[in-house]
Structure 1
Amino acid sequence: MSKEAESDNARRESSSEGASTYYASRFNEKEDYTHSQDGAEQQQSTRDVEKNEGNDGNSDEQEDRDPDLVTWSDNDPRNPQNWSTTKVWCNLGVISFFRLLTPLASSMMAPVITLVLDDFGTNNETIGSFAVSIYILGYATGPLILAPLSEIYGRLPVYHANSILFTIWNLACALSPNIGALLAFRFLGGLAGSSPVTIGNGSIADCVRKEKRGKVTAIFTAGPLLGPVVGPIAGGFLGEAADWRWNFWLLTIVSAVGTCVSLCLQQETYAPVLLERITKKLKAETGNEKLHHQYSNNLTKAEIFKRAIKRPLAMLFTSPIVFLTSVYVGLVYGYTYLLFTSFERTFETVYGFSGRIVGLTYLGFGVGCAIGLFALGALSDRLVVHYSKGTEWKPEFRLLPLLPGSLIVPIGLVWYGWSAEAGAHWIVPIIGTAWIGLGTLAIFMPVQSYLIDAFTLYASSAAAANTIFRSLLGAFLPLAGPSLYAALGQGWGNTLLAFIALAFTPMAWIMFRYGERIRKNHPGKVR
C-alpha cells in the first residue's frame, strides 16, 4: 500500500477518533460476528485478519483490511452481546412477558366457550372450538409479515407496534356484537400477538452468547407453554364470576400496562440496524461516503421484504431439518390445543365440574411444563459446557432431551385417555396431562434452542417457519376433537393420538444422530 494511501487512512481514523471506534482498519477480526434475523443478503465479515503487531510493514496484511468497513470494536458497549446483564434482561424480560401474555390470550376463553355461544345464540361446538383456535391461525400468518418488517425496520418498531395493536384487538373482542366479529378480532389479535414468538428467538441470538442460551431459551419457551395453561384458570373464574367479556377487558388492561413498560425499557438489538445507524452518523461526521458495514447491500426495502417473506417458506420446504422439526413440534402443539378445547366438555360431563373448576384442571399440564422447564433449562447449558470439552460442539447436542420427550407424550396421552374413559378419580387424568406437559416441553424447548444454534444467521426465519407450521396445526387440529371423541371416546381417541406421536419417535433419534450431516448437505434455500 502506498504511503499516500496509508496517510489517507490515518487521516480518516483521526477525524473520527472521538466519534467512533468502528473502523475495521483498527480492528483485528478473529471472530465470526454472526447475528440472527436474516439480514437480507447478510454478509458475514470473516476475514480472519491475523494479529501481527510486530510487522507494521506487512503490506499484504494492511491491504486485507478494509479501511471503510464499519464494525464492532472489542467490548464495544453498543454491541448488544456486550450489554450488561441488567440491560439484557430489561429487554428480554419485556419480550418474555408478552411471550406469556399472548399465548395466555389464546386459551383464556376455552372454559367459557359455552357462555360465549349462549350469548350469541348458537350451540355449534365446532364454531366454539374455532373461536379458540382461530387465534392460533393469526399466529401462523404473523411471521410472514412481521419477520420481513423486523428485517427492514429493526425489531423494536415491530415489538412496539404489535403490542399496541394487541391491546386494541383485545378491546375490540370485549366489545364484539356477534360471533363473526369476535372471530375476526381474535384472528387479528393472534396476528399481532405473534411478534414476540416470531422474532423473540432472534432477540436471544442478538444479545446472549451460545453458552448462556439454554436457560434463557427455557424462560422464553415457558411463555408459549405455560400461557395456555394459566389462561383457562383465570378465564374460568373470571368468566363465571363476571362475564366472558371480562376476559378480554383484563387482557386489554394488562397488555396496555405491558406496552407502556415496553416503550420505556426496550431497545433495538438487531445488529444490521444498529450498524446502519452508526454508519450513517460516521458518513455525516467524516464526509466519507464509502463507509459501509458488513451487512450492507443495495437492495430496496421492497426487495428485502420480498426475499424475507419467501425465506421462512423456502426453508420450511427445502431444509429437511426445518421441515422435520416443524412437523414434530406442530403435531405436539396441535395436540395441546386439541386437549385444551376438550377439557371443558370432558371434566363437566365425566366429573360434573363447574366452569371455574374446569379451569383448574389445566394445572396438571402446567406442572409438567414447570418441571421440564427447570430441569431442562439447567441441563441444556451443562450439555454445551460438557460437549464443548474435548470435542467440537454441535447444535445437535441440544436435541438430547428430545429422545425421552418423544416417549413421554404418548405415555401421557394413554394415561389421560383411559383414566377419563374409566371415570377414575379426577386426579388420575390430571396426572396424565402432567406427563403430556413434561413431554411437550422436552420436545418444544430443545427444538427452539437447536434452531437458534443451527441456523444462527437465519434463526428467525427458521423459527418463523416452525411457528407457521405449528400454528396451522394448532388452529385446525382442535376442530377434529369433537368428532374424534364422539366416535372413539376418550380412551381410544387419545390412544390413536398416542400411536401417531409414537410414530415420530425414530425421527427424534435420526435428527440427533444424523442431523449435522443432513443440515450441511441440505441447508435449504435462504436467498
Structure 2
Amino acid sequence: MGQDNEEDLMNLPKGVVGWENDKDPQNPRNYAPSRKWFLLFLVSIVTLISPFASSVFSPAASYAATEFHETSSILSTLTVTSYLFGYATGPLVLSPLSELYGRQIVLNVATTFFVLFQIGCALAPNTSALIVFRALTGMGGSACLTTGSGVVADMFAPEQRGLAMSFYSFGPLFGPVLGPVCGGFIAENAGWRWVFWILVIAAGTMTTFVVVFNRETNHSVLIERKTKRLRVELARPELRSCYEKAADENSSKLGTFVYRMTTPMRLLFRSGIVAIIATYIAMVYGCLYLLFTTVTDVFQNTYHWGIGISGLSYLGMGTGFVIGQIIFGLVSDKIIVRLTKRNNGVFEPEMRLPLCIVYSAFIPISFFWYGWSVNAPTHWIVPIIGLFPFGFGMVGIFATLQTYVIDSYPRYAASGVAAITVTRSLFGALLPLAGPYMYKALGYGWGNSLLGFLTLAMFPMPFIFRRYGRMLRERNLAIFK
C-alpha cells in the first residue's frame, strides 16, 4: 500500500514525465515524516483559526445588535451564520484552483483575504456591512478546509491518513466549540469589535508563518513544473505530464479549465456516494448549529450565567470532540491495515467505514439528554455532560467520511471535500434561522427530541455506506480518474 501507480512514473521514450521511481524524494509521499507533519501542521493551524472565527462572534452578536439598534432576530442571527455562506461558496472555486495551480498559492492568497476582511468586520458601520464582511471572510477562510484535505492525500498513504486526518480535522470540529468560549469573555470585557481585532492579530500571525514556510505538495503541479523544465533542458517540447490525459491535449485551455473548475459540483451530483455522504454530514452539521442557537441562551437565562462564563458550557461537547478524535486517530489506520491484510493486500476505501457505524450511535443521545435536562431544569452539569455524546459521535462521522472521500478520489481530494463542505455549510447557515421559532413552539424538551428522532432515523445511513459504497463509488469512478 501507499506506492504510486506505474503510470505516475517517468517514461521519457514515450514522452511522459513522472516520478523517477517509487522512492523519488521529490514525491511528497516520500518526504521525511518530520517534513510531512510540519507541512500538515502549517495547514492545520489555519484550519483551527478559520472555524474558530465562524462561532467566536456568536456571544457578541447581541452587543452588535444593540449598537446598531437592530431589532430583527433573523438579521442578528445572520451576522453569525453569514460566515457559513462564505464556506458554501468559496470551496467551489478554491478547491479546483488548488488542484489546477497548487495548494500553496491558493492557501496563501485566500488566508490573506480572510485576514483583510476581518478588519472590515471590526470597522463595520451597520448590520448589513457586518453580514457582507462576515460572508467574505468565510470565503477566504474556506480554503484551508479543502486544500488541507488535498495536502493529506498528497503526502500520506491510505494506511496513514486516519492519523493525519485526525490531526488535521481537529480545527474544523473543535474551532466552532472553542469560539464561543473565548468570544463571550472578549465581548464582555473589551467590546464586540475586539473579537475581530483579535482575529486579525491571531490570523495575521499564522498566515505570515504559513506564507513563509509552506511548500507545494500537489503531485500534478510538481510534475507539471518538472515537465516544463525538461522541455527546455532536453529541447523536447512534446513532453507531457503523466497526470495529463490525452483528452486534455485535444481540448482548449478554456474548456479544460471550465471542466476542472466544475469538479466539486460534478462530484456532488454525479458521484452517488459523495452526494449521499454530503447530505448526511450536512444534516448532522445543521443539527449542531441548531443546538448552538440554544446553549448560550439556556445558560444565561435558565442558569443565570454571565455571557463570558456561559461560553464554558460548550466544553462538554469539546471534550467529546477531543476524546473522539484521539480514538479515531489511534484506531482508524489499524483497522485499515488489518482489513487490507485480510483482503490479500488489496486496499478498498470502504474499509474506512466500520468506525462510522459506531460513532453514529452516539449522536441522538445528546438531543434527548440535553433537551429534557434543560427543560426540567436539572443541575447545570447534567446538560453539559449531555452534550458530550454529540461531540464524540460527530467527530467520528466527520473524520471517517471525509477520509473515505479522500481515499476514493485522492487526486480530487480537495474537490471531494469541497462538495461536502458546501452542503454542510448551507445547512449550518440556514437551519439555525428556524431555531428560535422551533424552540418557541416546542420548547427545549420536544424541540431537541425532534432533532433526536431525526438523527435516530438517519442511524441506518452508515450501514448503507458500508454495504453499497463500493457499488456507488465504482459506478462513476471512471469519470474522475
Structure 2 CA distance for partners of 1:134 and 1:377, relative to 1, 3 Å: same
| Cα separation, 2, equivalents of 1:326 and 1:230 | 24
SS of aligned partner of 1:352: coil
What residue is the counterpart of 2:40 in the other structure? 92
Deviations 1:346-390 (A, max 9, x none): 211111111001111111110000010001111101111111113
Identical-pair percentage = 40
| Cα separation, 1, equivalents of 2:238 and 2:2 | 24
Confirm or deny that 1:433 pairs with 2:387. yes
SS of aligned partner of 1:505: coil
SS of aligned partner of 1:268: coil
CA contact (8 A) 1:108 1:247 kept: yes
What residue is the counterpart of 2:320 in the other structure? 368
What residue is the counterpart of 1:461 in the other structure? 415
CA contact (8 A) 1:142 1:198 kept: no
Deviation at 1:67, TM superposition (A): 4.2
Map 1:258-297 to 2 at 5 A: 258-296=206-244, 297=248
CA contact (8 A) 2:2 2:159 kept: no
| Cα separation, 1, equivalents of 2:425 and 2:141 | 12
Q: Return the structure number with greater helix share.
A: 2
Confirm or deny that 1:451 pairs with 2:405. yes
SS of aligned partner of 1:389: helix
1:179 alignment partner AA: T
Confirm or deny that 1:419 pairs with 2:373. yes
Among candidates 114, 124, 127, match of residue 75 of structure 2: 127
What residue is the counterpart of 2:302 in the other structure? 350
SS of aligned partner of 1:457: helix
CA contact (8 A) 1:326 1:469 kept: yes
Deviation at 1:31, TM superposition (A): 8.9
What residue is the counterpart of 2:458 in the other structure? 504
1:187 alignment partner AA: A
When the two chains are superposed, the root-mean-square deviation of aligned CA atoms in Å is 1.9
CA contact (8 A) 1:149 1:305 kept: no
Deviations 1:287-328 (A, max 9, x none): 111222212333555333311232211221222211111011
1:325 alignment partner AA: I
Structure 2 CA distance for partners of 1:523 and 1:295, relative to 1, 3 Å: closer
Confirm or deny that 1:158 pairs with 2:129. no
CA contact (8 A) 1:32 1:46 kept: no
CA contact (8 A) 2:45 2:171 kept: yes
What residue is the counterpart of 1:15 in the other structure? none
Among candidates 71, 76, 91, match of residue 18 of structure 2: 71
| Cα separation, 1, equivalents of 2:417 and 2:31 | 24
Confirm or deny that 1:251 pairs with 2:195. no
What residue is the counterpart of 1:33 in the other structure? 4
Among candidates 500, 515, 522, match of residue 469 of structure 2: 515
**Radius of gyration: which is bigger?**
1
CA contact (8 A) 2:96 2:263 kept: no
Aligned residues: 474
Structure 2 CA distance for partners of 1:124 and 1:327, relative to 1, 3 Å: same
CA contact (8 A) 1:318 1:524 kept: no
Confirm or deny that 1:113 pairs with 2:61. yes
| Cα separation, 2, equivalents of 1:345 and 1:491 | 15
What residue is the counterpart of 1:334 in the other structure? 286
Deviations 1:107-157 (A, max 9, x none): 001112211111111132222222111101100101111122223321111
Unpaired runs of at least 5, structure 2: none
| Cα separation, 1, equivalents of 2:409 and 2:376 | 46
| Cα separation, 1, equivalents of 2:16 and 2:102 | 21
TM-score, normalization: structure 2?
0.95
CA contact (8 A) 2:18 2:223 kept: yes
Confirm or deny that 1:396 pairs with 2:359. no
Unpaired runs of at least 5, structure 1: 1-29, 35-43, 50-63
TM-score, normalization: structure 1?
0.87
Confirm or deny that 1:313 pairs with 2:265. yes
| Cα separation, 2, equivalents of 1:312 and 1:424 | 46
| Cα separation, 2, equivalents of 1:525 and 1:390 | 29
Structure 2 CA distance for partners of 1:143 and 1:300, relative to 1, 3 Å: farther
